[in-house]
């Protein structure tokens, strides 16, 4: 049996980007995480120690978002590695990281990178 856990639309203000302005002014970012694992034991025991804590997942994402990077790809991969390292029982993992209103010449709501296993 596989169970999915999703953390949707986590909001962060961070300082990622190539342009000097992005690293000084910052921007709004949205992170979505979807993971699958066999959590049958948690379903039966009702014990938080038998599952993947979404509070810990949030803290891992937050810690990586607080470290500035030039590229969204770099931040997303750090998030991915951090989660997989803490919870090796995850069988599939998807990280979506979006920068709202990216500094490009055009009306674009967001730029998003997706890393998926």
> Who contacts 109 (Cβ-Cβ below 8 Å, separation ≥6)?
100, 101
Helix locations, 38-100, DSSP H: 40-45, 54-65, 72-86
Nearest alpha carbon to residue 33 among 100, 117, 89: 117
Nearest alpha carbon to residue 5 among 45, 63, 48: 48
Backbone angles phi, psi at 112, to 5 degrees: -130, 140
Q: Which of 8, 70, 99, 109 is catalytic?
A: 99
As a whole number of angstroms, the distance between CA 106 and CA 117 comes to 32
Whether 99 is catalytic is yes
What residues are labeled active site?
99
């Amino acid at each position: 049996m596989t169970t999915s856990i999703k953390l949707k639309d986590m909001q962060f203000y961070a300082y990622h980007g190539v342009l000097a302005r992005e690293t000084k002014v910052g921007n709004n970012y949205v992170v979505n995480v979807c993971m699958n694992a066999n959590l049958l034991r948690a379903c039966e025991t009702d014990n938080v120690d038998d599952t993947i804590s979404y509070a810990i997942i949030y803290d891992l994402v937050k810690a990586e978002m607080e470290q500035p990077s030039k590229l969204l790809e770099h931040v997303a991969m750090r998030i991915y590695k951090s989660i997989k390292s803490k919870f090796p029982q995850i069988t599939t993992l998807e990280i979506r990281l979006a920068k709202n209103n990216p500094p490009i010449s055009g009306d674009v709501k967001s730029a998003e990178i997706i890393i998926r296993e």
